[in-house]
Amino acid sequence: MVATLEETKTAAKARQVLCGEVKHLLVDRLGLAVDPELIGDDQPLFGRGLELDSIDTLELAMAVEEKFGVMITDDDTESLLSLNRLVDYVAGNR
């Protein structure tokens, strides 16, 4: 099935909104000293990206579950590798 232009625009807008929500969640819950608007959609969350560490994964998983009702378990930690992956995971599981 091919999406219409209107449907594509709506989906893109919804994803943009979700990306914004996830960025604000990251900054608020992990106390990051960064403007949420400056976080790139494909920015890695760990290492040279947002410099999260393994201890932050638990807090992030708890925050995502509370805000979006989506559980991240030990088997899903790949979804935390970048912002885009996390947004994909949330969008696909809520």
Partner 1 sequence: MTSAAATPSARPGGLSADEIARLLPHRYPFSLLDRVTSVEPGVRAEAIKNVTASDPVLAGHFPGRMLYPGVLLVECVAQLAAVIYGSAAATRSTGELVADVAERVGYLAEIKQAKFLRTVLPGDQVVVRAQAGPRMGDLMSVTGQASVGRDVVMTTRLVVTERDNSE
Nearer to partner 1, 56 or 82 (CB): 56
The C-alpha atoms of residue 44 and residue 52 are separated, in whole angstroms, by: 9
Nearer to partner 1, 41 or 76 (CB): 76
The C-alpha atoms of residue 38 and residue 48 are separated, in whole angstroms, by: 15
What is the closest distance, in whole angstroms, from the C-beta atom of residue 16 to partner 1 in the complex?
28
Nearer to partner 1, 11 or 71 (CB): 71
Nearer to partner 1, 42 or 74 (CB): 74
What is the closest distance, in whole angstroms, from the C-beta atom of residue 92 to partner 1 in the complex?
19
Q: Shortest CA distance to 68 belongs to which of 91, 42, 84, 40?
A: 91
Q: Which residues bind partner 1 (CB under 8 A)?
A: 54-55, 57-59, 61-62, 65, 72-74, 77
- Between 5-30 and 83-93, two packed helices, what is the crossing angle to 10 degrees? 110
What is the CB neighbour count within 10 angstroms for residue 37? Answer: 9
What is the closest distance, in whole angstroms, from the C-beta atom of residue 1 to partner 1 in the complex?
37
